[in-house]
């Protein structure tokens, strides 16, 4: 299974989805920024360690795993079922909730970095990673490497401004 990551370029803030194999860095198609994988994230075979232990983008080891489930889509399916239920005597709602459950059951797990929101797909499940904890998420984000101490949103000037 191929490994991929959704990451946000620290230079231009654009989100990207890229393959993680056969290289030692991510390159931003938007601004050309090269994000080298953090230390210890490459295995002896030259591929990213699987299951992922440290974030290749920010180096943080706090991550959580969750189902790769689109909650909005799930909600939409149930809403459609509910809207149609007067004409189907409630059957559509039952069918749509079943569909939702089936979707949830079959979608794979993803690993998400607390520090930079990087999303890892195609990796083995790391037993160290638990479900998302909203109580710890804030603290973890502040503790993550490369995070500014304050909430000020200082963005570097765009490199390719004309």
Judge residue 53's burial from the number of C-beta atoms within 10 Å of its C-beta, 0-12 exposed, 13-18 middle, 19 or more buried.
middle
Which residues here bind Zn ion, judged by CB under 5 A? 9, 11-12, 28, 30-31, 33, 55, 57-58, 60, 113, 115-116, 118
- Of 58 and 93, the one with the shorter C-beta distance to Zn ion is 58
- Of 31 and 84, the one with the shorter C-beta distance to Zn ion is 31
Distance in Å, CB of 12 to Zn ion, minimum? 3
Phi-psi region of 44 (alpha: psi -120 to 50; beta: other; left: phi over 0): alpha
Distance in Å, CB of 45 to Zn ion, minimum? 22
Length of the chain: 162
- Of 9 and 110, the one with the shorter C-beta distance to Zn ion is 9
Token code pair at residue 94: 């039952």
Longest CA span, the chain: 61
Token code pair at residue 66: 């969750």
Distance in Å, CB of 25 to Zn ion, minimum? 13
- Of 15 and 43, the one with the shorter C-beta distance to Zn ion is 15
């Amino acid at each position: 299974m191929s490994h991929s990551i959704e990451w946000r370029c620290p230079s231009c803030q654009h989100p990207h989805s890229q393959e993680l194999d056969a290289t030692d860095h991510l390159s931003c198609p938007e601004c050309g920024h090269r994000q080298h994988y953090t230390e210890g994230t490459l295995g002896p075979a030259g591929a990213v360690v699987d299951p992922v232990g440290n974030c290749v983008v920010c180096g943080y080891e706090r991550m959580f795993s969750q189902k790769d489930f689109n909650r909005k889509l799930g909600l939409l399916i149930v809403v459609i079922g509910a809207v149609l239920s007067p004409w189907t005597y409630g059957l559509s709602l039952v069918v749509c909730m079943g569909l939702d459950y089936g979707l949830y059951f079959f979608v794979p797990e993803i690993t998400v970095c607390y520090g930079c929101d990087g999303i890892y797909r195609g990796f083995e499940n790391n037993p160290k990673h638990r479900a998302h904890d909203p109580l710890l998420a804030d603290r973890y984000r502040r503790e993550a490497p490369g995070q500014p101490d304050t909430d000020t949103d200082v963005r570097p000037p765009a490199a390719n401004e004309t």
